[in-house]
C-alpha cells in the first residue's frame, strides 16, 4: 500500500478531532507527533492540539499506519473534523500486525474461497472503528484503575482520567489525584445530565465558603508595605534570567508568608474538634483563579524550606496545570495556610474568607505607586496592602498583628528570603 | 436538656438496672427472669437487689433451662405480660435460638398480624475477659439476620439507660446485647429518650468513617485519636441498632468522607461487617475513594490466653492499621 | 340431636369430612406445602376441647385442623388459610401448619416439634401473674415432642411455678416414621411426666367420651390451682404422617387393627345401639359436615390472594395493629 493519500475507502479509517471536554468546541493542531508512514499503537500521542483551555496531547485508540494528515497546523477545526487518515493493519508491512491477513490467502490460493478483498473486508473492516461516536475518553476509563469517587469527580469535572497519574494502590487514581480535590466532600455523584465542571466547582466553593462564613469568627488586619526594595531586588535577580524563569512578586509573597508562618505557628494549622491543631509544616495553598471562572488551591508543601526560585517554578507549574486541568497529586496536600494574590486582577486589598479548617488566609492587593512617607519625605513607592483574615477562635488580633509585622519585614528585606 | 455536667455519673450496669427498675415501678406487667437474677443478682449483677424491692415473682429465678424460660418469656409476652428475659451470654442463647427465631420472630407474621410478642431478651456478648471459646463469642449477627426481631447494642451508659427503656416499650421482640467489657464503664446519664433505630456519630471527622458497635466503639474512638496524630480525621459512628441498620446515617457520613472502616468483634466471614460494607457500597458506591475495609475478629474460636485473645479480636492498632490502609492504599507507613 | 354425645360425634365427623376433602384438594394442588391429617385421632380434639371454656387458650401443633375447627374457627377461614388466601384465619401467611385466631384464643399451629410447650408455659405464667383465676392453657403435642429438651424444660417450669397448663400428649406411636418403642427409653409417657411431680395419666384416645372425661377431671385440678396436669392420649393416625409420606414403617395389620377402633364408627355404633341416635341422624351429621366443608371450599376458591405489595406486612409493629391477649 502506498503512502500517498488514497480516497477514503473501507480499508482506510479516519481519526477525528476528539472532544476532550464538554465545553470544547474546536481545536487546532499545534504539532504532529506522527508522520505518514508511521505505525501507531493504541494510546500513542499523535498530536498536540490547542484548545481554548490549554494545549492537550491527543491520543489515538487504535493501531494502524498513518496515511495522511488531514488538517493544517494551526487550523482551528471543530470537534469531529477528520484530522488523520489511518490505514488498517493489513496495509501495514509490519509482520505482526499483518499476521491476520494470513487467514485469507490460504483459502483464496485454492481458488475456491472468496476474493482477498472481500476477505479483508469481512475480517478487518466489519465496522470502521474510527466512525464510532464513542468519545475517546470512554476507552481508557475502562482500563484505568480509579476509585468510584475519582471517576465520579472526573466525570462531573470533565477531566480525562487518562491524563491523571494515580497515587492509590497499584497506581489507582483516587480523589486526591484530581484537581479540585480540595473541594472534596461537596462534589456530588454525577447527575444523569452531566453538569459542566464549572457549576460543580461553583457549588463546591459555595458550600465551603458558606461554611467558613457561618462557622469562623473572622478578624481582619491590614498592613501597607513598601515594596521598593523588593522590586529592585527582583529586577536585579531577574536580569540574567530568561523570561520563562523570572521570579515574580507572587513567589516573594509566598516565600515571605511561609517564612512568617514558621515564626507564628499559632496561625499555621487547623481548627478541628474545637481546638487548634498546628500544621506539621508550612504548606501554603495558593488560590489560583481559572479563566473559566472558579478557583483551585494547589499546595506548596514545606514552602518555608524552598528557595524563591523553587517556589516560583512551583507557582508556574501550578498555574499552568490548574488552568489546563492537569493538577499533580503532590499539589493536593492539605494546606496549612492559604495565600490569595488578587493584585494582578486590580484589587487594592483583600478581605478574605478563610478556607476551613485552616485558621488564616493572607491576601495581597495590587502593587501600585502610592505616596509613601519615609525619612520625613513623601515619595512615590510601589506599595502593596497585605491583609490577614484569621480565625478568632484560634488566635487574637495581637498574634495576627505580629504576623503582619514579620511579613512586612520579610518583604522589606527580600535578600533574607 | 439538662446540662451534661449536671447528669449523675453512673455505671453501665447501674444504668441498666435503673431502666429495669423504672419499668417495673411504672408497669406491674414488667418482670424479669433468668438464671440467678434474684438473690445472686444476675451473673453481671445487673439485677442486684431488685428481688428485695419487687419480690421473687417479678424477679424470677429460672432453672438452667434457656429454651424453657426464653420460651416462657415469649409465651408470657403473648399472654399480656412485659417480660425481660436475661440470658447469661449469647453463647447460651443458642439453646434458646429455636424459641427466639422460630417463635418470637415469626408469630406476628404467621398469625397474619393477630399477635405480637413484647419481650425483651438481654444477653451478654463479647470477648476480653479470658473466658475462652464458649463464653466469648459475638454472635449478634445471627439475630440481626432475622426479620421480626429488633437487635440493639448500647455502648454507652446513656444508651444503656434509655435504649433498654425503649426496648421495653417496643411491642415486638427486642434483643439487647450488653458487651461484658462495658458493665463497669461509667459516665453521665444524659437525658433520653434514645430510640431503637438510629446510629450515633460519636466523633465527627472528615477523612474516613469508622463504623463500630458495643465494645468496639471505645476502641474505635481511641483509634480515631491516634489517627488524628497522623492528620487523619476519623468520624466514628456507633451503630447502636444492629437490626434495623441505620443505613441513612452511614451513607450520610460516607458520602462526606468517601472512606469507611467497619469494626466488628464478630468474625469477619459472613458477618455483620460484611453486611455493613455491602450496604455502604450499595448506598455510596460513587462516593467511595477506597474499598470498604473490615476490621473483624480472626477466624478462630476465641482462645483462653490473654495474648491470643487480644490477637483474635480487633484492637486499637488494628483499627488504625485498617484506617491507614484505606487512607493510603498500603500498610507501608503504619 | 343436641346432647354432649351428639356434639362429640358431630365434631369428629366434621373433622373427618373436612380433612378427607383436604387430602383431595392437596391432590388437586389447591392446598400446598405440608398437610398433616388428624384422621383417626379426632376423639382427642373433640373430647378435650369440649371441656374448655372460651376463656381458655389452646396451643397446638401443625396437625391442628381438627382443633381449630372444634374451637370454633369457621371452616371457611380455615380452608381459606389452607389455600393461602388473605381471608384465611392467619391472613394466608401461615397455611395448614399455622392456624391462628386471637378471638378464639387459638395460638397456632406451631410446627417446631416441642417448640410450643414453653410458649404454653409462658401463657400460663402470664395468667398466673395477672391473677386470671380459672384460665387454663391447653397444649397439644405428639409423643415425638417428649424426646425434645423443650418438653422437659417446659414441664419442669410449669411444675415448679405451679402453672395452669393442661399438657395433652397425642401419642399416635410414631414421630413421622420413628416408633415410640425405638426412640424412648421409657415408653410409658405418663410415668415419664409424673417425674415432673404433676398428676399424669393415660387415656384411650380413640374414645371421645373417655377423652372428654379425662379432660374434665384434669381441668378441675388445673383450674383449682393444682398446677399442671399431663394427659397421654393413646391414639393412631390412620393416614401417613403427611401427604408426602409413603408409610413404609407401619405394618398393614397394625393399621388395620387400629382402624377397627375408628373413633367415629365405634362411637356411632355405640350411640345407635344405645338408641341415642338413629342411623338417619348420623347420616344427617355427615351431610351437614359435607355441606360445611363444601361451603368452606367455595369460600376459599372465591377468596382473594393477598397483593404482593403487602409482602412485608406483619413483621414489626409499624405494620399495623395486633392484639395483646387479655
Which helix (H) or strand (E) element contains residue A82? strand A82-87
Domain final residue, candidates A131, A155, A178: A131
CA atoms within 13 A on the CB side of A410: 24
Q: Is C33 on the interface with B (CB under 8 A)?
A: no
Question: CB burial class (10 A; 0-12, 13-18, 19+) of residue B222?
Answer: middle
Residues A304 and A410 in one domain: yes
Closest CA to B60 of B24, B26, B91, B101: B24
Backbone dihedral region for residue B48 (phi beyond 0: left; psi -120 to 50: alpha; all else: beta): beta
In a shared domain, residues A194 and A224: no
- With residue A31 as reference, give the H or E element that holds it: strand A26-32
Side by side, the strands of the sheet bearing B241-243 are B59-61, B30-34, B82-89, B120-125, B174-179, B150-152, B241-243
| Cross-chain Cβ contact B109/C315 below 8 Å | yes
Residues of A in contact with B257 (CB under 8 A): 185
Give the β-pairing of C165-171 and C106-109: unpaired
Collect all residues with Cβ–Cβ distance below 8 Å to A401 and sequence separation of at least 6: A221
Reported ipTM: the value is 0.90
- For residue A246, the 8-state DSSP code is P
Rounded to the nearest 10 degrees, the angle between the axes of helix C263-273 and helix C208-221 is 100
**Domain edges within chain C:** 4-301
Catalytic residue among B18, B35, B86, B135: B135
Cross-chain CB nearest to B63 (options C122, C156, C317): C156
Are A278 and A399 found together in one domain? yes
The DSSP code sequence of A150-208 is HHHHHHHHT--GGGS---SGGG-B-GGGSTTGGGTTSPPPPPSSPPPHHHHHHHHHHHH
A339/A373 same-domain check: yes
Number of neighbours of residue B26 by Cβ within 10 angstroms: 12
A288 and A407 housed in the same domain: yes
- What pLDDT, on a 0 to 100 scale, did the predictor assign at position A200? 56
Q: How confident is the model at residue A180 (pLDDT cuts 50, 70, 90)?
A: low
C-alpha dist (Å) from residue B284 to A357, B259, B287, B327: 25, 10, 5, 17
- Choosing from B35, B66, B86, B235, the catalytic residue is B66
The domain in which residue A159 lies consists of: 138-204
**Measuring CA to CA, how many Å separate A28 from each of A23, A55, A56, A132, A158?**
15, 9, 10, 22, 20
Residue of A nearest to B252 (CA): A185
Looking at the predicted structure, is the pLDDT value of residue A354 above 50?
yes
Shared domain check, A387 and A308: yes
A34-48, A379-393, B110-124, C115-129: least confident range: A34-48
Taking CB atoms and an 8 Å limit, are B329 and A147 in contact across chains? no
Decide: helix, strand or coil at residue A69.
strand
Nearest CA in chain B to A189: B286
Q: What stretch of H or E contains A30?
A: strand A26-32
CB contact under 8 Å between A185 and B206, yes or no, is yes
Between A172, A189, A272, which is nearest B286 by CB?
A189
pLDDT by 10s per residue, chain B, length 334:
444 455 679 999 999 999 999 999 999 999 999 999 999 999 999 999 999 999 999 999 999 999 999 999 999 999 999 999 999 999 999 999 999 999 999 999 999 999 999 999 999 999 998 999 999 999 999 999 999 999 999 999 999 999 999 999 999 999 999 999 999 999 999 998 999 999 999 999 999 999 999 999 999 999 999 999 998 999 999 999 999 999 999 999 998 899 999 999 999 999 999 999 999 999 999 889 999 999 999 999 999 999 999 999 999 999 999 999 998 865 444 3
Same domain, A34 and A159: no
The domain total for chain A is 3
Lowest mean pLDDT of A165-174, A346-355, C94-103, name the range: A165-174
Residues of A in contact with B228 (CB under 8 A): 272-273, 277
- Its pTM stands at 0.67
Cα separation of A36 and A5, whole Å?
9
Domain boundary among A98, A131, A164: A131
Write the CA distances from B118 to A95, A203, B23, integer angstroms: 80, 49, 13
Give yes or no for a contact between A404 and A223, defined as CB atoms under 8 angstroms apart.
yes
Contact C62, C237 (CB under 8 A): no
* 3-class secondary structure, A367: coil
Measured between CB atoms, which of B80, B103, B111 is closest to C119?
B103
Give the nearest chain B residue to A335 (CA atoms).
B231
Residues A72 and A16 grouped into a single domain:
yes
Q: Which residue has the higher pLDDT, B120 or A170?
A: B120
Tell whether B330 lies on the interface with A, counting CB pairs under 8 A: yes
Biggest alpha carbon–alpha carbon distance for chain C: 59
| Residue A296 predicted with pLDDT over 60 | yes
Residues A71, A77 contacting (CB under 8 angstroms): yes
**B307 flagged as catalytic:** no
Contact assignment for C154 to B68 by CB distance below 8 Å: yes
- Note whether residue A209 is domain-resident: no
Amino acid A187: pLDDT: 34
A305 falls within a domain: yes
Name the residue among B75, B83, B115 with its Cβ closest to that of C121: B75
Any domain includes A158: yes
pLDDT one-digit tens code per residue, A60-88: 777 788 888 888 888 888 888 888 888 76
Question: Cβ separation of C153 and B171 shorter than 8 Å?
Answer: no
* Fold topology of C4-301: Rossmann fold (3.40.50)
Chain B, residues 21-50, CB within 8 A of chain C, namely 29, 31
Q: Let me know if residue A6 belongs to a domain.
A: no
Domain end marker among A110, A131, A152: A131
Do A171 and A243 lie in a common domain?
no
Looking from the CA of A378 toward its CB, the CA atoms found within 13 Å total 2
Grid coordinates standing for A270?
487547623
Taking residue A89's Cβ as centre, other Cβ atoms within 10 Å add up to 19
B115–C126 C-beta distance less than 8 A: no
- Collapsing DSSP to helix, strand or coil, B156 comes out as coil
Chain A positions contacting chain B at CB under 8 Å are 147-152, 167-169, 172, 174-176, 184-185, 189-190, 272-273, 277, 280, 334
Domains of chain B in start order, with CATH, are 4-188 (3.40.50.970), 200-327 (3.40.50.920)
Beta strands in A203-327 (DSSP E): 218-226, 269-272, 275-278, 284-286, 288-289, 295-296, 299-300
Residues A174 and A64 in one domain: no
**Residues whose CB falls within 8 Å of the CB of residue B322, separated by 6 or more in sequence, listed in order:** B261, B263, B293, B294, B295
Asked if B224 has any chain A CB less than 8 Å from its own CB, the reply is no
Decide if B135 is catalytic: yes
Q: Are residues A228 and A169 in the same domain?
A: no
Of C123, C152, C314, which has the smallest distance from its Cβ to B113's Cβ? C314
CATH code at A229? 3.30.559.10
C-alpha cell at A63: 493501531
Same structural domain, A81 and A172 = no
Count Cβ atoms within 10 A of the Cβ of residue C73 and give its class: 0-12 exposed, 13-18 middle, 19 or more buried.
Answer: buried
Judge: C126–B81 Cβ closer than 8 Å, yes or no: yes
How is residue A102 written as a grid cell?
494470513
B329 contact residues in A (CB cutoff 8 A):
167-169, 172, 174
Widest distance between CA atoms in chain A: 106
Amino acid at each position: 500500500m502506498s503512502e500517498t493519500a488514497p480516497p477514503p475507502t473501507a480499508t482506510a479509517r479516519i481519526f477525528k478531532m476528539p472532544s476532550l471536554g464538554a465545553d470544547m468546541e474546536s481545536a487546532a493542531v499545534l504539532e504532529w507527533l506522527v508522520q505518514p508512514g508511521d505505525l501507531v499503537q493504541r494510546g500513542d500521542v499523535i498530536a498536540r492540539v490547542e484548545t481554548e483551555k490549554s494545549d492537550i496531547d491527543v491520543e489515538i485508540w487504535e493501531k494502524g499506519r498513518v496515511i495522511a494528515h488531514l488538517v493544517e497546523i494551526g487550523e482551528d477545526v471543530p470537534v469531529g473534523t477528520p484530522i488523520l487518515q489511518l490505514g488498517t493493519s493489513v496495509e501495514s508491512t509490519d509482520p505482526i500486525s499483518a499476521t491476520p491477513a494470513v487467514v485469507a490467502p490460504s483459502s483464496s490460493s485454492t481458488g475456491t474461497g472468496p476474493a482477498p478483498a472481500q476477505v479483508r473486508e469481512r475480517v478487518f473492516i466489519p465496522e470502521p472503528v474510527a466512525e464510532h461516536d464513542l468519545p475517546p475518553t470512554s476507552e481508557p476509563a475502562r482500563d484505568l484503575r480509579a476509585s468510584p469517587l475519582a471517576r465520579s469527580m472526573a466525570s462531573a469535572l470533565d477531566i480525562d482520567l487518562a491524563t491523571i497519574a494515580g497515587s492509590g494502590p497499584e497506581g489507582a487514581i483516587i480523589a486526591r489525584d484530581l484537581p479540585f480535590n480540595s473541594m472534596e466532600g461537596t462534589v456530588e455523584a454525577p447527575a444523569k445530565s452531566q453538569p459542566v465542571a464549572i457549576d460543580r466547582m461553583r457549588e463546591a466553593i459555595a458550600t465551603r465558603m458558606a461554611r467558613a462564613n457561618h462557622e469562623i469568627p473572622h478578624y481582619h488586619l491590614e498592613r501597607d508595605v513598601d515594596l521598593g526594595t523588593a522590586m529592585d531586588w527582583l529586577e536585579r535577580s531577574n536580569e540574567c534570567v530568561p523570561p520563562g524563569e523570572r521570579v515574580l512578586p507572587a513567589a516573594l509573597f509566598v516565600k515571605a508568608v511561609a517564612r512568617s508562618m514558621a515564626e507564628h505557628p499559632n496561625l499555621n494549622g487547623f481548627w478541628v474538634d474545637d481546638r487548634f491543631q498546628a500544621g506539621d509544616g508550612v504548606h501554603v495553598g495558593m488560590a489560583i483563579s481559572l479563566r473559566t471562572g472558579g478557583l483551585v488551591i494547589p499546595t506548596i508543601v514545606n514552602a518555608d524550606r524552598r528557595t524563591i526560585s523553587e517556589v516560583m517554578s512551583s507557582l508556574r507549574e501550578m498555574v499552568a496545570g490548574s488552568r489546563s486541568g492537569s493538577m499533580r497529586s503532590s499539589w493536593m496536600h492539605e494546606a496549612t495556610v492559604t495565600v490569595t494574590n488578587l493584585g494582578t486582577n486590580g484589587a487594592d486589598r483583600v478581605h478574605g474568607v478563610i478556607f476551613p479548617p485552616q485558621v488564616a488566609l493572607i491576601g495581597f492587593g495590587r502593587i501600585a505607586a502610592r505616596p509613601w512617607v519615609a525619612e520625613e519625605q513623601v515619595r512615590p513607592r510601589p506599595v502593596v496592602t497585605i491583609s490577614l483574615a484569621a480565625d478568632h477562635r484560634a488566635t487574637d488580633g495581637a498574634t495576627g498583628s505580629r504576623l503582619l509585622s514579620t511579613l512586612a519585614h520579610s518583604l522589606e528585606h527580600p535578600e533574607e528570603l | 436538656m439538662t446540662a451534661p455536667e449536671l447528669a449523675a455519673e453512673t455505671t453501665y450496669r447501674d444504668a441498666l438496672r435503673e431502666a429495669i427498675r423504672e419499668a417495673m415501678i411504672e408497669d406491674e406487667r414488667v418482670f424479669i427472669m433468668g438464671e440467678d437474677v434474684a438473690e445472686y443478682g444476675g451473673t453481671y449483677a445487673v439485677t442486684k437487689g431488685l428481688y428485695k424491692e419487687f419480690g421473687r415473682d417479678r424477679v424470677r429465678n429460672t432453672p438452667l433451662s434457656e429454651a424453657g424460660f426464653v420460651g416462657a418469656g415469649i409465651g408470657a409476652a403473648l399472654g399480656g405480660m412485659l417480660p425481660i428475659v436475661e440470658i447469661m451470654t449469647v453463647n447460651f442463647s443458642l439453646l434458646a435460638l429455636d424459641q427466639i427465631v422460630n417463635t418470637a420472630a415469626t408469630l406476628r407474621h404467621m398469625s397474619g398480624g393477630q399477635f405480637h410478642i413484647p419481650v425483651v431478651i438481654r444477653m451478654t456478648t463479647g470477648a476480653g475477659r479470658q473466658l475462652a471459646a464458649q463464653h466469648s463469642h459475638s454472635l449478634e449477627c445471627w439475630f440481626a439476620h432475622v426479620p421480626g426481631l429488633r437487635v440493639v447494642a448500647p455502648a454507652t451508659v446513656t444508651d444503656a439507660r434509655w435504649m433498654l427503656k425503649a426496648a421495653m416499650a417496643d411491642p415486638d421482640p427486642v434483643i439487647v446485647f450488653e458487651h461484658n467489657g462495658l458493665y463497669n464503664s461509667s459516665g453521665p446519664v444524659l437525658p433520653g429518650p434514645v430510640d431503637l433505630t438510629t446510629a450515633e456519630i460519636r466523633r465527627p471527622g472528615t477523612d474516613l468513617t469508622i463504623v463500630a458497635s458495643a465494645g468496639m466503639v471505645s476502641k474505635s474512638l481511641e483509634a480515631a485519636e491516634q489517627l488524628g496524630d497522623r492528620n487523619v480525621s476519623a468520624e466514628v459512628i456507633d451503630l447502636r441498632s444492629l437490626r434495623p441498620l441505620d443505613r441513612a446515617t452511614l451513607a450520610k457520613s460516607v458520602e462526606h468522607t468517601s472512606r469507611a472502616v467497619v469494626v466488628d468483634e464478630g468474625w469477619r466471614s459472613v458477618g455483620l461487617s460484611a453486611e455493613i460494607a455491602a450496604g455502604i457500597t450499595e448506598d455510596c458506591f460513587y462516593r467511595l475513594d477506597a474499598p470498604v475495609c473490615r476490621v473483624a475478629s480472626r477466624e478462630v474460636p476465641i482462645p483462653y490466653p490473654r495474648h491470643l485473645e487480644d490477637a483474635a479480636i480487633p484492637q486499637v492498632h488494628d483499627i488504625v492499621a485498617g484506617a491507614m490502609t484505606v487512607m493510603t492504599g498500603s500498610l507501608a507507613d503504619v | 340431636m343436641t346432647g354432649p354425645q351428639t356434639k362429640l360425634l358431630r365434631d369428629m365427623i366434621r373433622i373427618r369430612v373436612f380433612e378427607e376433602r383436604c387430602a383431595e384438594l392437596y391432590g388437586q394442588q389447591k392446598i400446598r406445602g405440608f398437610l398433616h391429617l388428624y384422621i383417626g385421632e379426632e376423639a382427642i380434639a373433640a373430647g378435650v376441647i369440649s371441656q374448655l371454656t372460651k376463656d381458655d387458650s389452646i396451643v397446638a401443633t401443625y396437625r391442628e385442623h381438627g382443633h381449630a375447627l372444634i374451637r370454633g374457627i369457621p371452616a371457611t377461614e380455615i380452608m381459606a388459610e389452607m389455600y393461602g388466601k388473605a381471608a384465611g384465619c392467619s391472613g394466608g401467611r401461615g397455611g395448614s401448619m399455622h392456624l391462628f385466631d386471637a378471638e378464639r384464643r387459638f395460638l397456632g399451629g406451631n410446627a417446631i416439634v416441642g417448640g410450643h410447650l414453653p410458649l404454653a408455659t409462658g401463657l400460663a405464667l402470664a395468667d398466673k401473674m395477672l391473677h386470671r383465676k380459672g384460665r387454663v392453657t391447653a397444649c397439644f403435642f405428639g409423643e415425638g415432642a417428649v424426646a425434645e429438651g423443650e418438653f422437659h424444660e417446659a414441664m419442669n417450669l410449669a411444675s415448679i411455678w405451679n402453672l395452669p397448663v393442661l399438657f395433652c400428649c397425642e401419642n399416635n406411636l410414631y414421630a413421622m416414621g420413628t416408633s415410640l418403642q425405638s426412640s424412648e427409653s421409657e415408653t410409658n409417657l405418663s410415668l415419664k411426666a409424673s417425674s415432673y411431680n404433676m398428676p399424669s395419666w393415660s387415656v384411650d384416645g380413640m374414645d371421645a367420651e373417655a377423652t372428654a372425661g379425662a379432660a374434665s377431671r384434669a381441668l378441675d385440678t388445673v383450674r383449682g390451682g393444682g398446677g399442671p396436669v399431663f394427659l397421654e392420649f393413646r391414639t393412631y393416625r390412620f393416614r401417613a404422617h403427611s401427604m408426602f409420606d409413603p408409610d413404609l414403617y407401619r405394618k398393614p395389620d397394625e393399621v388395620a387393627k387400629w382402624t377397627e377402633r375408628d373413633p367415629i364408627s365405634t362411637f356411632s355404633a355405640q350411640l345407635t345401639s344405645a338408641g341415642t341416635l338413629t342411623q338417619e341422624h348420623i347420616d344427617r351429621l355427615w351431610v351437614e359436615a359435607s355441606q360445611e366443608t363444601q361451603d368452606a371450599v367455595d369460600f376459599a376458591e372465591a377468596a382473594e390472594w393477598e397483593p404482593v405489595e403487602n409482602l412485608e406486612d406483619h413483621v414489626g409493629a409499624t405494620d399495623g395493629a395486633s392484639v395483646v391477649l387479655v
